[in-house]
Amino acid sequence: MASLNDLSARFYSYNKMYSYEMRLQSFADWPFREECQCTPEMMATAGFVHCPSVNEPDVACCFFCLRELEGWEPEDNPWSEHIKRSPNCGFLAMKKDFGELTVAEFYHLEQERLRIYIVCHQPYMYINSTKKEMSSLFTFHRARVVTEWFDVY
């Protein structure tokens, strides 16, 4: 499983993974192909990115909630597994494709993604930070989100 540094790097690199095509590209070396529930297409549709290691070639991580799943079996359904393991993931509740999101909707999703990352994966930072420090972090993140949105469009 990923270290805290790996999770930090993933959080910042996964902002491009709202795109189905970008997620699908990550599954070039995915061990499951045809006649499986967990094909690259199904994995990408369910919000997963392939993030293998030498010892774990089938690790997939949700770009939104950063939930890692491994030990996939051919009959595993990515949507079902994602819902079972991370029922409150914001990606699962998304009703639109990325290209249909407004700036406000994208901003809200990115703020939720940041909140999940901080609370679930950086609890010491969250607990030991002042309200002003957290506000500063969210302000920085807001500026980054708006810049990235306009870079895409």
HEC sequence for 86-152: CCCCHHHHCCCCHHHCCHHHHHHHHHHHHHHHHHHHCHHHHHHCCHHHHHHHHHHHHHHHHHHHHHH
Domains assigned to the chain? 4-91 (1.10.1170.10), 98-152 (no CATH)
This prediction has a pTM of 0.73
Tokens of 47: 């919000």
- Assess whether pLDDT exceeds 90 at residue 150: no
List pLDDT tens digits, range 99-132: 788 888 887 888 888 777 776 655 544 444 555 5
pLDDT at 4: 53
